[in-house]
């Protein structure tokens, strides 16, 4: 596991954008996009990046809210608006039009399986971490945490009273690389619990089973870490 600490949130977003650009340049065939403010800031930078050839890279949504793509809470809609449509990249996302979260998850899993069969598995996966330790839409105490196959499932989140669609832990573990991005003092405690304390939050479980895991943090999010804190 690698931990990179940048002075500011903007610097962390720039580092994430650079990492994605380098991965595409090196021929990464598929990249999972995350929601959240830091990834969105990075996506804005990707929209302006020159010389990036997106034609051979499939982008896919690592988790999604059960809302239409034109809803303000849609991760796919936000990614399209931030950069995907501007750069002409291919984006795969769950189909809300199927009318049922379980059917949508199964359909999306089948489409992802085709991509992974072509590419030798999931490639680069971008993730965030919530104050409660969740990542993707793997929330504490939810059933999706117990799914033992590399797939995509509908996950009921009782604390929010909503359906979410999410990659399972085995799917995340199968990725060639996982990159977490977290910024702000509000994330400092949970980041320290995950990195220093190995507290079994969903994000810690995702990281602990990953093949190549990088954390991109700003100084505030890293402030409780033993190695980087002050």
- Mean pLDDT within 184-190: 97
Query: pLDDT tens for residues 6-17?
Result: 999 999 999 999
Residue 139 · residue 202 · CB < 8 Å: yes
Residue 39, CA distances (Å) to 15, 127, 159, 171 in order? 11, 9, 24, 20
Residue 171 · residue 208 · CB < 8 Å: no
SS3 assignment, position 63: strand
Q: Can you tell me the distance from the alpha carbon of 217 to that of 223, in angstroms, rounded to the nearest whole number? A: 10
pLDDT of residue 228: 55
Residue 179 · residue 216 · CB < 8 Å: yes
Q: For the chain, give the percent of residues with pLDDT over 70.
A: 98
pLDDT of residue 2: 96
Q: Can you tell me the distance from the alpha carbon of 57 to that of 128, in angstroms, rounded to the nearest whole number? A: 21
Half-sphere exposure of 148 (CA within 13 A, CB side): 0
Q: Does the pLDDT value for residue 159 go beyond 50?
A: yes
Query: pLDDT tens for residues 18-72?
Result: 999 999 999 999 999 999 999 999 999 999 999 999 999 999 999 999 999 999 9
pLDDT of residue 157: 98
Other CB atoms within 10 Å distance of the CB of residue 111: 16
pTM for the predicted model, two decimal places: 0.96
pLDDT of residue 136: 98
SS3 assignment, position 120: coil
What would be the CATH architecture of the domain defined by 2-218?
A: 3-Layer(aba) Sandwich (3.40)
pLDDT band, residue 230 (cuts 50/70/90): very low
């Amino acid at each position: 596991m690698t931990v990179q600490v940048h002075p500011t949130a903007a610097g962390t977003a720039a580092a994430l954008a650079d990492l994605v650009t380098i991965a595409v340049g090196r021929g990464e065939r598929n990249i999972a996009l995350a929601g959240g403010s830091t990834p969105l800031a990075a996506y804005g930078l990707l929209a302006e990046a020159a010389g990036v050839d997106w034609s051979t890279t499939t982008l896919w949504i690592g988790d999604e809210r059960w809302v239409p793509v034109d809803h303000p809470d849609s991760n796919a809609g936000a990614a399209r608006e931030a950069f995907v449509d501007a750069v002409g990249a291919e984006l795969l996302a769950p189909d809300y039009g199927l009318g049922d979260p379980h059917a949508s998850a199964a359909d999306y899993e089948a489409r992802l399986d085709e991509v992974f069969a072509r590419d030798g598995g999931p490639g680069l996966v971008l993730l965030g971490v919530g104050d409660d330790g969740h990542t993707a839409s793997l929330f504490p105490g939810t059933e999706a945490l117990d799914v033992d196959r590399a797939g995509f499932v509908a996950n009921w989140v009782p604390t929010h009273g909503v359906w979410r669609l999410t990659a399972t832990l085995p799917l995340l573990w199968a990725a060639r690389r996982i990159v977490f991005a977290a910024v702000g003092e509000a994330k400092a405690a949970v980041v320290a619990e995950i990195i220093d304390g190995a507290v079994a939050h969903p994000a810690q479980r995702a990281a602990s089973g990953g093949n190549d895991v990088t954390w991109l943090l700003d100084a505030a999010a890293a402030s409780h870490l033993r190695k980087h804190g002050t």
